[in-house]
Amino acid sequence: MDDTMTVTRWAPLVNEAIEPQWITYDIPPVPGKAKVQPEDFVVDEIPAYRPSGEGEHLFLWIEKRNVSPEFLLRAIARRLKVPLRSIGCAGLKDKVAVTRQYVSVPRTAEKRLRHLEREPGIKILDVRPHQHKLRTSHLKGNVFRILLRETPKSAIPRVRSVIDRLRRQGMPNFYGRQRFGRGGDTALTGLAMLSGSIPNDHIAWRDRIRRKLYLSAAQAAIYNAYLRERIARGWFRKVLDGDVMHKESGGIFFVTDVEQEQRRFDQGYTVHAGPIFGKKMFKARGVAAEFEYEILRRWELEPEWFVARGRLLMGTRRPNLVYPQNVSIEAVADGVQLSFTLAPGSFATVLLEEILKKPIT
């Protein structure tokens, strides 16, 4: 980000939002290295549904190695000669990794699929038609297989202690630092766009992929700040009056009976959800709403800025904690191998930081 875009008043806040904040601080760091090679970090998407075999779109089951999600989308558009807006994906995947996921394209590109495999680091593993384009968050979760290099077998009990606590208490659902760009530049650009410091005719607005990355990074930084403050106030596992809750079944509502909802939360039936500010965000009430807007005031942001951007910032709710599932821990020749499943949108690097007690990108 060049100097003309820099909004200095937000830089300290973004830097703080990016810094790890682990809840297993009393468990000493585990020695080891993560993401040394792409093969050390393997991600498999769990689709919400399988393509039907009929329709005007193609679902491509794609494997990428050491390829950023932005580069993948641009390569698909370039090689298949389709508009970026016609490409669908359920979620973004790490660059320094081997990842497998569905991406949808118009069926009219079928004859050009062979051109995509000329792109280094990208393979098409399967192709199936479907009736509609793949949409964001159309997935059940992600399976991670991660190698911690140079982690001794003797450290496995400590690894297990961290993960067992996260399984019981929940893992803070922070956005990983890779979402924010080098030094938080992506988030800072998004904040400048949001505030109007970057005019609408700037290239940052014209580039469809980057525009979305910038603005979503700004939303993510604000969410991280909210969650950090919630943890600092001792509210990580506390239900507030007016909190927005997610049901295990997927429904959403706000709290009117705190005692009843605290019991349901403690039993794992619900989870409170933080703000991803935008035009159609389900609003909290009472104490919870005041807390959320306190964060906006601290960042010198106006709620109207999010509404004014329309479809670019629709807004949503993000569960404040997630529970790792299907966990396995195994000593291997090069260190310790972890396998686990996380909900859609959750970052495995946040879990790794709890174990290693150091930043992971």
Q: Which residues have a catalytic role annotated?
A: 94
* Token pair recorded at residue 153: 């077998």
Nearest alpha-carbon partner for 301 in 243, 215, 230: 215
Instruction: Name residues whose C-beta falls within 8 Å of residue 95's C-beta, 6 or more positions apart in sequence.
Output: 66, 67, 68, 69, 178
Residue type, 202: H
| Burial class of 31 by CB neighbour count within 10 A (0 to 12, 13 to 18, 19+) | middle
Distances in whole angstroms, Cα of residue 118 to Cα of each of 114, 115, 271, 290: 7, 6, 45, 53
Cα-Cα-Cα-Cα torsion 302, 308, 311, 313, nearest 10 degrees, comes to -10
Handedness of CA 341, 345, 349, 351 (dihedral sign): negative
CB within 8 A of 332, min separation 6: which ones? 147
Which among 181, 248, 171 has a CA at the least distance from the CA of 213? 181
Residue 259's H or E segment, with its range, is helix 258-266
Indicate the pairing of strand 41-47 with strand 98-106. Answer: parallel
- The burial of 4, by beta-carbon neighbours within 10 Å (0-12 exposed, 13-18 middle, 19 or more buried), is given as exposed
